[in-house]
Structure 1
Amino acid sequence: MGGVVVSKREPDHDKPLGRAEIVQAILASAAELFAAKGPSSTSLRDVATHAAVNHSLIHRYFGTKQQLLAATLQHLADRGVELAASGDVDAERQELGDLHMRVLVRSALDGYPIAELQERRPGMEWVLDQARPNFPTERAAQLAAAHATALQYGWRLLGPVLRAGFGLADMDDEALRTEVLAEIGRTLSLPRD
């Protein structure tokens, strides 16, 4: 992964020192492993080994695997909003968004109650804030924001299948991304009757 939130720790690197470095290493490793294998197939020992920390530190700072998953999801969501607000490179936001989506999807497929795990959903709140001025009711804005988010997740998750199935394989990535973003924009700005 690039230098967004996670960076793969190689075994020959120095171990993280101090609470802040240890917590960051654990969250980065958990995000990578949960995205790659799902939380059910990732042990806390796997995360500790990947992060180059003692297994007991995960329990100390996070508790159970479900609590670590909750902290990881929250961290990814918060970091995504930070990147968007700072105007950081779009590729970094895309990479982080894809990582967050993979952790969400794998967690849901593994049966974790992802709707209950995050206390805040700043990315979704931002999307809803974009929709509110364009709709007559809160419910209409909520539905538009949910539709726009589902559209984005669907393309990120199933893009290759959709391209092949609907004859869009010849479209370059940037053109397709522009079209998807335009449709999301229309969804967030067109009130439904």
Structure 2
Amino acid sequence: MPSVTDAPTTYPALAGLLLALPPSAGPVRLVAVDGPSGSGKSTFAPRLAAALGGVPLVRSDDFRVPWDADPLTWWPPFERDVLAPVTAGRPGRLRRYDWHRDVYGPPEEVPPAPALVVEGVGAAWRGCPAAFRIWVDAPRDLRRARALQRDGIAYADAWDEWAGREARHFASDRTRDRADLLVDGTAVAAPAFHATRPARSPS
């Protein structure tokens, strides 16, 4: 995909660009951070939310999505409990799932802030009313190493199966093709990151 390197490469600069966009979900600018497992999404997203003024961040991992499930298993409860209320200008409700303890946390309120960052596999799918879609990616070997460091080597086979499942989802949905920003996930913990804006052909 042709690209141009005119995108902001710091979190504050990107935040300024996003806050200048019109709302996409009622009063809220929904910012979707998507990409394959281990790409750097979970490092990138909280830094962006902080740069946006500490706006809410909701992750696909806040919902129970088994390793063998459809990657979009989390979307219906997110839409019901968070997206629909904030679109209507009301606070959403969320109980974040604890993967290590297999329990849900206490109820939290998700206010209809100027922006809402949604991160995870499927965040930027075609049905998401995003104001801006961000695709974060990194080489597969690095992504796999990160995931197994996080989850444990016992999950190696499960991760490999999940990687295939998410790849099929992305191919069917053409998620990357619709991204407004492509982020190199190899160094997103730094104050500046490398990103490109896709050059789209006129429709």
Report if TM-score (shorter chain) is over 0.5.
no
The structure showing larger relative contact order (alpha-carbon pairs under 8 Å, at least 6 residues apart) is: 2
More strand by share: 2
More helix by share: 1
Structure number with bigger Rg:
1
TM-score, length-scaled by structure 2: 0.28
